[in-house]
Amino acid sequence: MKMYHLPFGDWSGDGHREFRVIPVKCEDPNTFKQAEDKIKAKYGEYFFSHMADDFGDATVGEDVWQALLNDTDYTLEDFIKTDEYYDTSGITSLAQCYQEFKDEPMSITVVINMYLALVRAYGAKFEIVPDVEMITNVAAPGYGCLGD
């Protein structure tokens, strides 16, 4: 297996340039595209545009929630462990979570985990690479090259 960086957000740098990268290992990076194509065949061509895809819109569409509820093993616990915004203490199921938060903005970690659950359910074969510790006792030149 080869390691790849799976980007989320504005990885192309043509907008606000904020993005996250998830390191994954897989045999073929097309595994993600193939799974996405299967999802779009079932839910429509614009399915992934309903996953916090517009600048300033961090909501997740009803079709995404329905796919999570019906087609994946994504659970309430998966939502709770990645949610950064909401009080979920009274929530007892993912369906109830959907009803409560369907029109609310999601954090990037929630969106990433939703995406990973969806593509995995539709056949993407990959492993998430655990965080790697950064080496901080080296010179690390280049500070002046980054930023304004």
Q: Report pLDDT for 73.
A: 96
| Tokens (6 digits) for 41 | 């065949």
Q: Which helix (H) or strand (E) holds 79?
A: helix 76-82
Mean pLDDT of the 91-109 span: 94
Nearest to 111 by CA among 89, 77, 78, 73: 78
From residue 70, alpha-carbon distances to 1, 5, 37, 50, 95 in Å are 30, 28, 18, 17, 10
Q: Report pLDDT for 141.
A: 82
Nearest to 40 by CA among 122, 113, 124: 122
Q: Report pLDDT for 14.
A: 62
Q: Report pLDDT for 101.
A: 95
- In terms of Cβ atoms closer than 10 Å to its own Cβ (0-12, 13-18, 19+), residue 116 is buried
pLDDT tens digits along 3-61: 998 988 865 666 556 788 899 999 999 999 999 999 999 999 999 999 988 878 899 99
Kindly report the pTM of this predicted structure. 0.85
Q: Report pLDDT for 145.
A: 75
pLDDT tens digits along 64-88: 999 999 999 999 999 999 998 999 9
Question: Which residues, 6+ apart, have CB-to-CB distance to 71 below 8 Å?
Answer: 42, 118, 121, 122
